[in-house]
Structure 1
Amino acid sequence: MTTSAQRRPVVSLGSPLLIAAIVLVALNLRAPLVAVSPVVDAIRADLGVSAAVAGLLTSLPVLAFALASPPASWMIGRLGPERAMLVGLGVLGVGTVLRSSDGVAGALFGTVLIGAGITVGNIVMPVVIGRDFPHRSGALLGIYTATMNVGSMITLSLTVPIAAGVGWRIALCTWLVFAVAAVIVWQLATRRREESPQDLPDDGAGPARAPGRRLVPWLLLLAFGGQSFSYYGLTAWLPEILRDLRGLDAASAGTASSLFQILAVAGALVTPLVARRASLRLAFIPVAAGFLALPGGLLVAPGLWPVWCSLAGAAQGGGFTVIFAAVLAASRDATENRRTAAFVQGGGYLVGALGPWLVGAVHEAGSPPSWQGPLAVVLGALVVLAVAGWSAVTRLRTQ
């Protein structure tokens, strides 16, 4: 058991300022990645690269999420989440500038650095929310998740107009404003906290349990893997799926993709309310059902695509919130929370990185190519999400 002599005193943080810092950090955790999509043609033309190489600018960060999670978790344990988050934002900023520097190598290496910097935030945010807001963790996880999607929508909407005036390089660097603001407010919100740099303070529950030796973290890894695979697979291919299945033009197909992204904000905000008033198990049911509705609905009734895209959009926002609320519930202290979050994210994002590639490969393998096979693959991944997620949330009381 940890004794008082082993812990340093922790000074209470100003809650409103810390919440503002969490929101500003969240704006940085997806926006720099999706900003590439609207200007990818300009990037290809300027750098003289193929579509496959340009695709690495969006797929490499997801792989970085997986591979960088263990070292990021170690660094957070050594430095503490406050200082580690500043390091992560610094790496993200350097990567953003390097991505817009001259040359393909700089663009790719900068993209990897962006992914590594974001990985730190992916792990730090649930840890800080669970540690500093134990009675409001569900609501703040929802706000955090919703803000990531808001950041994505801002960059998707404004990168093209900015690039039209100043070029894609400066347009992508414009979003450094989010990182600078996050650094300033995060530093102000956390500068009074004093904690051991060796690890996060816990509640005296005993040595942290290894996540790989417990069932619930494995179930949550499978659930998050199913969610990540489906999200990234559908995000990459949904416009083309709808163009082929329904004959939609590019604008209409883009509207469908927007529904899938925008409704995530509603799902992220509503799901914690259901979990708080009822239970995490009850909150998980519409998440699983809503996400399953998209590939299942497109297979049996593609004409109702606006309904399926809306349901799945809300579900994918709610699913992220439920899974990491379950990570908090399955952890006895901040150290265990950090290790479990890294374990779940490392494995889950590794599976997620396969989504766009496997969905596209199954499509091209058809003779003639069709979307029934890829949609069945996504449906299978979501069944894994449903089964593993339900098994995890029903076991939380016994862990």
Structure 2
Amino acid sequence: MSTVRAAAGGSALLAAVLVFALNLRTPITSLPPVMADVAAGLGLDQSLAGLLVGIPALCFSVVAPAASALIGRVGPYAAVTVALVGVIAGTLVRSVGSGTAGVVAAFAGTVVLGAAITVGNVVVPVIIARDFPARTASATGLYSSVMNVGSVFATSFTAPLAALLGWQGAIASWSVVAAVALVVWLVTTRRLPSRPRPAGTPADRPAPRPGDTWAGVLRRPVTWVLSVAFAGQSFSYYAVTGWLPELLRDLLDVPATTAGNAAAPFQGLAIAGSVLVPLVLAARVPMRAVAATTGLLWVALPAGLLLAPEWWLLWVSLSGIAQGGNFVVIFTVVAQRCRTVAQTRRTVAAVQAFGYAVAATAPSVIGAVHGLSGGWTAALLVMLASTLTLGVAELVATRRPRPTRG
């Protein structure tokens, strides 16, 4: 009976983590569909309005070390509670007021949101590594796919909600999802049965070790290799998210609405990538083979648009699968290569701090290259370099460690 209770508790915890994950992208992706209304309502020009989307990505980098420290101090479960409270508060504050007060509230709420989501970004891989050591790939895949589902929902339903409630009501309405997640999380963690942890898991060795400190984590080569891989992944993602609709509009000579729909498979098929990678790994396909495949699928977008642009739908679809699958590969490798909870959370924070710092430059870099060159060839070459970089780094990160001589 105790085994049954433990399994039920683990399933309930995973379900609560996934409900939490729904809130890690919806506050960000709910804004672009009503960006014109937000700019008009607050009296902002397009560049200032765009900062409301860019600030969270910057927070993902800057706040990651502090998020790691918070998790170490209060524990992973309490950190999730803090993150959800921050998401609710940030979403509501961002949606109130008008004029100067509204502008201040919008930016203050966005900073709170960015910080809260950063805590979530760091804590979920820690919980997966600690509480699901035998299911890291499948749990990470579910986590990634649910985040993408949340993005699709927010992108699809915010504009219709704005037609009924106005842009402020539409944005604020997503706090309801966070409130439900908070209730689910508190109820679930309160009722979790006590269960023994499998021997050899990160939580099984809580004593401090030199390799668990920030200095120790930053001295590990795998930390930097994974940081480069995640930087390439994140730069490519933000570059494609920001510029693919306009690129396709120029390529296909179609209206902006049609180009936006043409770019949709990139986001939607990330869900497929997040699910497929754990299934392939469960079939005992080596991680390195999976990393090589997803890396090549990522490269297909810029290389394909350069060499065979008429096949654009294939390249967009393959890269969508790749961007969801690569996220799973990177953070599954993090969980596998870390020995303790402390080492896991600091490694996750280091990887995300570096990766998102690079990613924050992607829209402006691609825009500048496109503007200076007067076309898309140079910009696609930059994207090609970033996807090749992440592919090579993943191959290095998934290389089997050499056995030490006794």
TM-score by length of 1: 0.92
CA contact (8 A) 2:60 2:352 kept: yes
Asked if the contact 1:280/1:393 (under 8 Å) is kept, the reply is yes
Equivalent residue runs for 1:340-351 within 5 Å: 340-351=347-358
SS at match of 1:29: coil
Q: CA deviation at 1:205?
A: 7.6
The question of whether the paired residues in 2 share the 8 Å contact of 1:292 and 1:383 is answered with yes
The answer to whether the 8 A contact 1:129-1:140 is kept is yes
1:356 corresponds to: 363
- Gaps (5+ residues) in structure 1? 1-10, 195-199
User: For the Cα contact (< 8 Å) 2:61–2:355, is it kept in 1?
Assistant: yes
Q: Alpha-carbon deviation of 1:303? A: 1.1
Paired residues in the alignment total 383
Q: CA deviation at 1:139?
A: 0.5
**1:88 CA drift (Å):** 1.2
Distance 2:157 2:370 in 1: 32
> Sequence identity, in percent?
45
**What stretches of structure 2 of length at least 5 have no aligned partner?**
1-5, 195-201
The CA distance in 1 between the partners of 2:107 and 2:378, in whole Å, is 32
Equivalent in 10, 20, 27 of residue 25 of structure 1: 20
What secondary structure is seen at the aligned counterpart in 1 of 2:399? helix
Report the equivalent of 2:271.
265
What is aligned with 1:391? 396
Tell me the equivalent position of 1:329. Answer: 336
Q: Which runs of 4+ in 1 moved over 3 A?
A: 395-399
- Map residues 42-121 of structure 1 onto 2, 5 A cutoff: 42-102=37-97, 103-121=102-120
Residue type matched to 1:328 in 2?
Answer: A
Question: Is 1:295 aligned with 2:294?
Answer: no
In structure 2, the partner of 1:163 is: 162
Of stretches 228-237 and 242-251 in structure 1, the one that deviates more from structure 2 is: 242-251
Single out whichever of 320-329 and 107-116 deviates more from structure 2.
Answer: 107-116
Distance in 2 between the 1:29 and 1:255 partners? Answer: 23
Distance 1:63 1:134 in 2: 30
1:252 CA displacement = 2.6
The question of whether the paired residues in 1 share the 8 Å contact of 2:84 and 2:178 is answered with yes
Instruction: Tell me the residue number matched to 1:203.
Output: 205
**1:147-162 maps to which residues of 2 (within 5 A)?**
147-162=146-161
Superimposed CA distance per residue, residues 192-223 of structure 1 (whole angstroms, 9 cap, x where no aligned partner): 579xxxxx944268614322101111000000
Measured on the aligned residues, the alpha-carbon RMSD in Å equals 1.8
SS in 2 for 1:42: helix
Alpha-carbon distance, 1:256 to partner: 2.4
Picking from 378, 385, 389, the partner of 1:373 is 378
Pair 1:307-2:306 in alignment: no
Partner residue of 1:252? 258
Q: Is the 8 A contact 1:65 1:118 kept in 2?
A: yes
Q: Which residue of 2 aligns with 1:5?
A: none
On the 8 A contact 1:131/1:334 being kept in 2, the answer is yes
